[in-house]
Every structure is written in structure tokens, then in C-alpha cells.
Structure 1
């Protein structure tokens, strides 16, 4: 059995029903955390919760809502408090987008969807979690992207959103450090369902991406990204805040 480094901690993972969010939730559960996973698809969340419950964590709760809505951010935090009595870790993973459109062709609907789900959803969940993390300290883990750092073609608003997430994470790290709240960013290169769909539709770009990865492969959400989140969630990273970790096999080197 894996070491229970997160025993006694409660984590909320947005978009935890699939992909990178589910991979992170699996790793947190194995490390002993109690979990709340959120998303828009209740059936998908319930299926994920059944899987997570077998991994040795301290319990799983679900909340089906839309990260774009402030009321749903507040309600998701309330689920953690009602079910487990506390909140220690917030993972802002949820993100909707329509990649593959050149900047001059992006319409207002795509702009709103991407910004509201990613940047604004992240900010609203951070705000909702703040009073509870302030009382006991904790860890916020936000998801960035190599597309923001690198500036990938066809990812204009997505890149802006993810760099916005990195920016607000640095500000929060400075403002909230006095309360023992650490705020860090993971930029993953992992095969989530959305990533697989995009790469399958753009095979030449997929091969280009793969060649850029020093380790020669795309990451696994659970095996490769999850342990990074466990590290940032736990006490072993107690002196790390305001940082970006590129968990991408050496695709982006700063």
C-alpha cells in the first residue's frame, strides 16, 4: 500500500470525473485523502466515485455543477464541509475550450466558454475556499498549460486563460502566504479524453508534440501527474509556493 501522506486531509478536485482531474483524484485517494470531485456530468462523477472508493481514501463525495457559476463554486466547498468537516486542498482542474481555431477566427462564445470555465472558475473556487483554508492553512493546486508558456497555434484564448491562471496563482501565493496557504501550478502533458480527441484529429501536430517531449511519450494522468499533485498537497512541499511545475516529460524547459 502506498504511504498515506495525505491521511486526515480533505481535497476538492474540479473536473474530477475524467482525464487529468480523475488521475489526480486517484493519486490523492491512494495517499489517504478524503475527496470531493465536481463536474457537470452526474453519471460520470458517480462512476468515478465508485472507482475512487476502492483506492483506500477516506471517503468520496460528488457535486454536479458548473464551475462557471459562483453559486456552484460555493456549493462545492459546502459539500466538503458538510461531508468531511474541513477543506485542506483545492485542485482547480476543470477547463472547457474549443482548441484548433486561429486567433482571428475565435468567436465570443468560445472566448466566454474558455475564460469563464478556466480563469474565472479557478478564481471563484479560490475565493470560495479561502475562508476555510485561511483558518487552518492548506494547498491550492491550479492547472496551467504548456500552450500558455509556449504559445501554441490554435490555442489563443486557451493560452490566455492558462497564463491568467498562472498569474493569479502567483498573486494569491503572495497575498495568502501569511495564512499558511500555498498556491502552485502544474502544467501537465497527459492524455486526457479531450487531449486524445484533439491529437487524433491533428496527427501531424500530435507527432510534433511527441518529438518535443524529452522522455518521448505523453504522460498518464494518474501515474505521472497524480504524484506531483500529491507532493504539492502534502507537507513535503510546505516551503514551496508561487511555483509552476511542468509535469510534461521535458516538453517545456525554463
Structure 2
């Protein structure tokens, strides 16, 4: 491998790793020496990420499934243990949602956001707990700068993401005695969803960019993935219950 060794001997599971931020995180963890289980709904995308990781000299395993289904989440964790024999890092990145104004938001919109967001995160954390507490470990849950700022038309998404931050803080208090650290990352990155948003409404997208002091959206691997790799390494072993705003400074202007 051409990268570092901060995570050598560790095994990480990343949800929603077939593209975008999840892919960037998986690649960055692999660059630091971790074996990575990549999960998502589209097997072909997962296989492509596994191939990328293999090209970098690291080990990876793909598990397809829907985080909105508890049985799929539990199978992801079980297959991680079967493939690599341990689990040290859990990254809950996957999330589905529909963007509408609050007055148009339906119960189905909220159900989708919660089922694939805080509920999926909770199920993954519960399934991973027995394995993480064997030697201590790290959980990274994904929030959103959109939720922190309360951006219009993101009501159900914001509700779900802020619920994840609450879950993170409670878990950090309850599971610290096991040597498990639990933190939230709120990224602003050029994911496929962000690219679609840019293409659909360039003017509104540029307005968002102007709100970012660094003047750009983050890159999923070097800007978000590398930060997550640092967060789960021993370099930040005293940090838990925190929210790391990886948004180029956007929220300081809110």
C-alpha cells in the first residue's frame, strides 16, 4: 500500500459504500491499512469499490443489502465477522430521503428517512456492540450540515439526521466504559446526490457554495474519508460524543 498504517490490523464496516462519501471513506480507511467491508444496495458498485481497494493492496469484502431492513443490517455485521474475524470500526453513512417543503412532507417521507437513518444506525450499532466491546472500537455516524442549519425543503432529512446526533451522544455516554468511542461527522461533499442537485438547480447550488468559506464542496476521499480515518485512529482516542463539522466552514455562517 502507498498510504499509512494507522489502522493496520483493524477491520471496518462502511454502509452506503458503493459511491460518493461512503466510497471515499472506504478507500481512505483502506489506505490506512484497514480491511474494509463495503455495504450497499447495488452489488456491481460494491464490487467496483472492492476492486479499487484491492488495487491499493488492501483487503475488502462486499455485502449487498438495504440498511432499512434490520435483518440485512444484522447480516452485514455477521458477514463482516465471517470474512475477517473481527470488527473494530463501524461507519454508518447510508441514508435515503425525499426533499420537500414541510407543508408537502408526508408520513411516508418521514418513515423512509427514519428507517434508513436513525433506525438503521441504531440497528447497526446494536449488532456491532458485542464485537466492538471485545477490544474497544470506534463508531462514526453521519449527520448533516443541512440539518444543523435547517435548510428549507430538507425537513424529513433534517429530522432524521438530528436524531442520529442524539443517538450518538447517548451511546458515547453508555458505551465509553467498553472503550467504544462514538462520534458524528457532518459533511458537505460532492456526492452523486449533491451533483444531481447542482445539475438540477445550478443557481441555488452556487448560492450554497458562496456560503462555504473554503469556496468548494468537499471531496469524498481526501476531505471526508481521510478525516474519518483520523477520527477512528488512536490519534483521536480521547474524542467521543462529538460532532465534527466537515463542511468547509459553512455552518459558522449560519
TM-score (norm 1): 0.97
State the match for 2:19 in structure 1: 18
Aligned runs of 1:37-76 on 2, under 5 Å?
37-57=38-58, 59-76=59-76
State the match for 2:150 in structure 1: 151
Shift of 1:2: 2.1
SS in 1 for 2:117: helix
State the match for 1:92 in structure 2: 92
State the match for 2:8 in structure 1: 7
Shift of 1:202: 2.1
| C-alpha distance in 2 between matches for 1:165 and 1:119 | 5
Please give the per-residue CA displacement for 1:123-156, whole angstroms capped at 9, x wherever unaligned: 1100110111111110000011011110000000
State the match for 1:251 in structure 2: 250
8 Å contact from structure 2 (residues 89, 139) kept in 1 = yes
Shift of 1:113: 1.2
| C-alpha distance in 1 between matches for 2:167 and 2:121 | 9
Shift of 1:111: 1.5
Please give the per-residue CA displacement for 1:74-115, whole angstroms capped at 9, x wherever unaligned: 11011111111000000000001112x100101222221111
State the match for 1:178 in structure 2: 177
TM-score (norm 2): 0.97
Point out the more displaced range, 130-139 or 87-96: 130-139
Please give the per-residue CA displacement for 1:38-83, whole angstroms capped at 9, x wherever unaligned: 10111111111111211232x1111111101111111101111111
SS in 1 for 2:14: strand
Which runs of at least 4 in structure 1 moved beyond 2 Å after TM superposition?
none
| C-alpha distance in 1 between matches for 2:200 and 2:219 | 20
Q: Which runs of 5+ in 1 are unaligned?
A: none
What is the total number of aligned residue pairs between the two structures?
252
| C-alpha distance in 1 between matches for 2:141 and 2:56 | 24
